[in-house]
Amino acid sequence: MKTNAWKQDSEYVALVADLLAQPEVQRLAEFTQHHHSNRLDHSIAVSYDSYVLAKKWHLNTTAVARGGLLHDLFYYDWRETKFDLGSHAFIHPRVALRNAEKLTKLTPMEKDIILKHMFGATLAVPKYRESLLVSLVDDYEAEHEFFGPLRTKVAKQLDRFRGKVSAG
């Protein structure tokens, strides 16, 4: 996702503005997500990129925008907090759903999106194409956020090396 591109998309903003206005959603900015991003930026990226693809593929844009935004609505550092009931991958979708239900009424599809967004890491099979879409976009964004700075650093090193080789 291009940073802040979502702000220029009035249709998207109309779908999530009420959620973004919630202090509970804004609080996600306080938590590091994938080392180089915060949880709010990650959630917006998942939400918006899922929305763009859902629009292109004629899927439920409202459900992916809203469910995508709320998929990681939890308030702990997953690297430090451990649960007796299972792994973070298994627990946090349930925590996020519980938190989301306190903020807004959710459709069955939005609930499934939140609960099943860890498909692959868990055996929770998505019921809807929209749920699978958000799960895949979430994986893509996580990889992009985690490895993006490393890719940039390597690219700069390669450019310097190529410059030295062509000049020498």
pLDDT tens-place string over residues 58-95:
999 999 999 999 999 988 766 565 656 656 556 789 99
Closest by Cα among 96, 1, 110, 100 to 45: 1
Task: Give the C-alpha separation, 48 to 36, whole Å.
Answer: 19
pLDDT tens-place string over residues 16-66:
999 999 999 999 999 876 566 789 999 999 999 999 999 999 999 999 999
Domains of the chain (ranges; CATH) run 5-167 (1.10.3210.10)
Lookup: tokens for 137: 């976009």
Task: Give the C-alpha separation, 8 to 125, whole Å.
Answer: 34
pLDDT tens-place string over residues 112-130:
999 998 887 777 899 999 9
